[in-house]
A and B are shown apart, each in its own frame.
Chain A
């Protein structure tokens, strides 16, 4: 028998997170800061409306586009981030993951390049490769705030790239972009005639100010595909529900793939999403406030024994562990024996070396214990080195 597997997959390593998952599963006493999802349950009013929709028999396919009422609600919701769109510009997807996949496949021809600032979310690079594209990895560093700047894009544009994937607020760094910083990115994008794939799944979890979408900037709406969803803001991860807002030519391409590979997003989740947008903002505020408290508490604590920038969004802290002299991976492995799980920064790209990702989507009590244990671990390293 010949080789039965797509050769492309040989280029794609298994997820760096998987390994830690297997290690942790064997231990009960570990506090996991490795979880990339809210620790809140889906607000009851959303769950209740899903249950009701099932009772009423909403179990059939919806249109490929998704339920019109939901598309309308999303289109008007996005005005708060400065983006005007029509419901016809909105496609309901099975989470941002699907949105990302069909966007990339919708725009890329084999060999075309896509700029990806690193460290970045785990799926960006594999999805570009699976679409036979070439990821152009642009390292960012703590010194430049883990953000990509005008020069970075221009300097990486020979040969030119078709698109850039921008995730903000960022998983794993918690960094996000101000309007001014986005304008700088937009200048380069327009100059180099690129498309922006704008992953805004953590938009609602922006602290101290309101999220700005790059699509809201002058002349950008024709170049930006907005990807967002309900997983983080409304704690609906397992319901797999997201959406894309895209210019019509790109949307047409995306829809073609979506209608064959997904048909439509799960109807129950769509019904829940309608309720989330109608009546969910109070719960979102409550959760954001709670994350914000944990953010300040935990990052302040981290700075007692490591160095960590205050994240501006999402629910991740990305402290530097360089001082310890350990690699991200061995730091994370050794920390396990102190009863705390984190994800090594290298799971998010080479530039993540020297950092770890800690999720603060964990109760205050657990965060406190986790910080104490981490401090003890750092203390033990310091003693060993003396």
Chain B
């Protein structure tokens, strides 16, 4: 039944009726399955992907590289969870490379984001270094292109 999850991942708004027609399971079976996966927290939520720039809302996103120092009491998990709990923080990932954590922070303007990093992240005792990249434009989000330069050029009827 993985197929149901694959379909939902691309179209969370699809109706039970349509899912049933596509997959051959009954609506009841699908409903139960989805409920189960929600309970198991395999399905974590349903969200819309919004091009806020197009909507004219000037939210600011920044990608922040964070280098941390570990000690006997504190591992990556502790620090990452601590950072993740801030509502300003959009995502947190442990990554390979020069830095340890990569976080995405959302704010109303550059100042708000910069001060959040300076006051809340940099001041954590384990944080050794941060490097802030403000996002200037997004071209692709969650697998969706945010630009449209292709159109259906097919003829209306073809053999």
Contact yes or no, B22 A21, CB < 8 A = no
Does A32 contact B156, Cβ atoms closer than 8 Å?
Answer: yes
Contact with B along A23-41 (1 / 0, CB 8 A): 0110000101011110101
Residue-wise, chain B 127-151 has the 8 Å CB interface mask toward A (1 for contact) of: 0000000000000000000000010
A293-B22, A297-B22, A368-B18 known; A30-B156 Cβ under 8 A: yes
Interface size class of A (residues with CB under 8 A): 20 to 34
List, in ascending order, chain B residues with CB within 8 A of A15's CB. 159
Q: Does B154 contact A (CB under 8 A)?
A: yes
List A residues 14-61 near B (Cβ within 8 Å). Answer: 15, 17, 20-21, 24-25, 30, 32, 34-37, 39, 41
With A296-B24, A368-B18: A25-B158 Cβ-Cβ less than 8 Å: no
Contacts of B7 in A (CB 8 A): 293
Q: Is B152 an interface residue (CB 8 A)?
A: yes
A301 to B18, CA, bound (A): 10
> A39-B152, A41-B150 are known contacts. Are A297 and B21 too (CB-CB below 8 A)?
yes
Checking B154, B155, B156, B159 against A121 with a beta-carbon cut-off of 8 angstroms, the contacting residue is B159
How far is B158's CA from A35's CA once the two chains are assembled, in angstroms? 5
Q: How far is the CA of A293 from the CA of B23 in the complex (A)?
A: 7
Contact with A along B1-42 (1 / 0, CB 8 A): 000000100010000001001111000000000000000000
Structural contact, B152 and A21, CB atoms closer than 8 A: no
Are B157 and A20 in touch, CB under 8 angstroms?
yes
- The answer to whether A39 touches B154 (Cβ under 8 A) is yes
Give CA–CA (A123, B150) in the complex, Å.
30
State A123–B158 Cα separation when bound (angstroms): 12
Is residue A341 contacting chain B, with contact meaning CB distance below 8 A? Answer: yes
Q: A41-B150, A293-B7 given as contacts; is B156 within 8 A of A21 (CB)? A: yes
Q: Are A123 and B159 in contact (CB under 8 A)?
A: yes
In this complex, what residue of A is CB-closest to B15? A368
Chain A CB within 10 A, most for which of B7, B11, B18, B158: B158
Verify A341–B150 contact, CB threshold 8 A: no
Fill in one digit per residue for A102-144: 1 if any B CB lies within 8 Å of its CB, else 0: 0000000000000000000111000000000000000000000
Q: Which residues of B sit under 8 angstroms from A32, Cβ to Cβ?
A: 156-157
What is the CA–CA distance of A343 and B22 in the complex, to the nearest angstrom? 24
> Most B CB atoms within 10 A — which of A35, A296, A343?
A35
Nearest opposing residue in chain B for A21, CB measure: B157
With the chains together, A32 CA to B24 CA distance in Å? Answer: 26
Query: Once bound together, how far apart are the Cα atoms of A363 and B11, in whole Å?
Result: 13
A300 contacts chain B at the CB level, 8 A cutoff:
yes
Q: Assess the B24–A36 pair: CB atoms within 8 A.
A: no
Tell me how far the C-beta of B106 lies from the nearest C-beta in chain A, rounded to whole angstroms.
29
- Chain B residue at minimal CB-CB distance from A38: B154
| A53 CB to nearest chain B CB (Å) | 21
Given A39-B152, A41-B150, A293-B7, the answer on whether A24 and B21 have CB atoms closer than 8 Å is: no
Complex Cα gap A293–B7 (Å): 9
Q: Once the chains bind, are B158 and A37 in contact (CB under 8 Å)?
A: yes
Name the B residues within 8 Å of A25 (CB-CB): 156
Contacts of A364 in B (CB 8 A): 11, 18
Question: Are the CB atoms of B21 and A296 closer together than 8 Å?
Answer: yes
- Most A-side CB within 10 Å, residue of B11, B150, B156: B156
In the assembly, what is the distance between CA of A35 and CA of B157, in Å? 5
**A123 contacts which chain B residues (CB < 8 A)?**
159
Query: How long is the Cα–Cα vector from A296 to B23 in the complex, in angstroms?
Result: 7
Complex Cα–Cα for A37 and B157 (A): 9
Which residues in chain A, 355-386, are within 8 Å of chain B measured between CB atoms? Answer: 364, 368
Q: CA–CA, A32 to B155, complex, Å?
A: 9
Q: Which residues of A contact B155 (CB under 8 A)?
A: 21, 35
What's the Cα separation between A57 and B74 when bound, in Å?
58
When distances are taken between beta carbons in the complex, the residues of chain A under 8 Å from B152 are: 39
* B158:A34 contact, CB within 8 angstroms: yes
Contact B156 A37 (CB under 8 A): no
Known: A122-B159, A293-B22, A300-B21. A35 touches B154 (CB 8 A): yes
Q: Mark B78-98, 1 if CB is under 8 A from A, else 0.
A: 000000000000000000000
Docked pose: A15 CA to B150 CA in angstroms: 29
A-B contact pairs, 22 of them (CB 8 A): A17-B157, A21-B157, A24-B156, A24-B157, A30-B156, A32-B156, A32-B157, A34-B158, A35-B156, A35-B157, A36-B159, A39-B152, A122-B159, A171-B159, A237-B158, A296-B23, A296-B24, A301-B21, A341-B157, A343-B157, A364-B11, A364-B18
- 10 closest A-B pairs by beta carbon, nearest first, are A34-B157, A21-B157, A36-B158, A24-B156, A293-B22, A297-B21, A122-B159, A32-B156, A297-B22, A300-B21
